[in-house]
Amino acid sequence: MRSYKNIAMAVTAGLMLFSSCKDDAFLNETLKDRLNTETAYTNKAQFDALSANMYRSIQLMYNTADLTHEAFILGLGTDVAFDPRDDAAKFNNWGLVTSREPFSEDWFNLQYAIIRDANTLIENASKPTVLWVNDAQKNETLAEGYFFRGFAYRNLANMYGGVPIVDKPVDNAKIDFVRNTREEVWAFAKKDLEFARTNLPLTTASPGRVIRAAADHVLAEVSICLKDYDGAIAAATRVIDGTDGAYSLVNARFGARSSETDKDYYYDLFVMGNQNRQTGNNEGIFVAQFEQTSTGAAVIGGTQFAGRPLIERMMWCNYWGLAKAGYNNVAQDSTGRGVAYCRPTNYTNYTIWKNAGTDIRNNETNIKRKYYFAANVGSFKKGDIIPKSFLTTRDDTMIYVYPNWAKFGTDKHIAQKPDNGYVRDFYLIRLPETYFLRAEAYLGKSRADLAADDLNVVRRRAKAPLVAATDVNIDYILDERARELFGEEFRMMTLTRLGKLYERTKKYGYERAQESVQMFNNLMPIPQTAIDRNVGAQMLNNPGY
Same domain for 417 and 517:
no
Distance CA 209, CA 187 (A): 24
Domain end among 424, 449, 466? 424
Tell me the average pLDDT across 82-105.
Answer: 96
Q: Rounded CA gap, 397 and 157, in Å? A: 37
| Residue 228 domain flag | no
User: Looking at 424, 447, 467, which one is the last position of a domain?
Assistant: 424
Q: What pLDDT shows up at residue 35?
A: 52
User: Which are the contacts of 275, defined by CB distance < 8 A and separation ≥ 6?
Assistant: 269, 281, 284, 287, 424, 425, 426, 427
Q: Which residue has the higher pLDDT, 24 or 193?
A: 193
- Cα R_g (the chain), whole angstroms: 23
Residue 364 lies in a domain: yes
Q: How far apart are CA 195 and CA 83, in angstroms?
A: 41
Distance CA 279, CA 486 (A): 23
- With respect to residue 48, please indicate whether it lies within any of the assigned structural domains: yes
pLDDT tens digits for range 300-309: 444 555 567 8
30, 125: one domain: yes
pLDDT for residue 510 is more than 90: yes
CATH of the domain at 115: 1.25.40.890
Kindly state the helix (H) or strand (E) to which residue 429 belongs, with its residue range.
strand 426-430
Co-location of 409 and 532 in the same domain: no
pLDDT tens digits along 170-214: 988 999 999 999 999 999 999 999 999 999 999 999 999 999 999
Does residue 296 sit within a domain?
yes
Residues 35 and 167 in one domain: yes
Q: How far is the CA of 368 from the CAs of 76, 224, 284, 316, 499, in angstroms?
A: 21, 36, 24, 10, 32
Contacting residues for 510 by C-beta, under 8 A, at least 6 apart: 77, 82, 92, 345
Residues in the chain: 545
Pair (527, 415) in one structural domain:
no
Could you give the dihedral angle defined by the CA atoms of residues 488, 476, 90 and 404, in that order, rounded to the nearest 10 degrees?
Answer: -50
Taking Cα atoms as reference points, which of 87, 58, 79 lies closest to residue 70? 58
**Residue 393: inside a domain:** yes
Structural domain that includes position 128: 1-65+98-181+511-545
Regarding whether 516 and 397 lie in a shared domain, the answer is: no
- The four Cα atoms 57, 62, 68, 69 give a dihedral, to 10 degrees, of 0
Q: Measure the CA dihedral 300/306/307/311, to 10°.
A: 80
How many structural domains are present in the chain? 2
Question: Positive or negative, the Cα torsion across 227, 146, 493, 245?
Answer: positive
Confidence of residue 278 (pLDDT cuts 50, 70, 90): confident
pLDDT mean across residues, the chain: 91
Are 517 and 404 part of one and the same domain? no
* Domain termination residue (choose one: 392, 424, 456): 424
Average pLDDT over residues 201-230: 98
Which H or E run includes 478? helix 474-485
Assigned domain for 400 exists: yes
Together in a domain, 401 and 539: no
* The pLDDT value given to residue 65: 77
Considering the domain boundaries, does residue 479 fall inside one? no
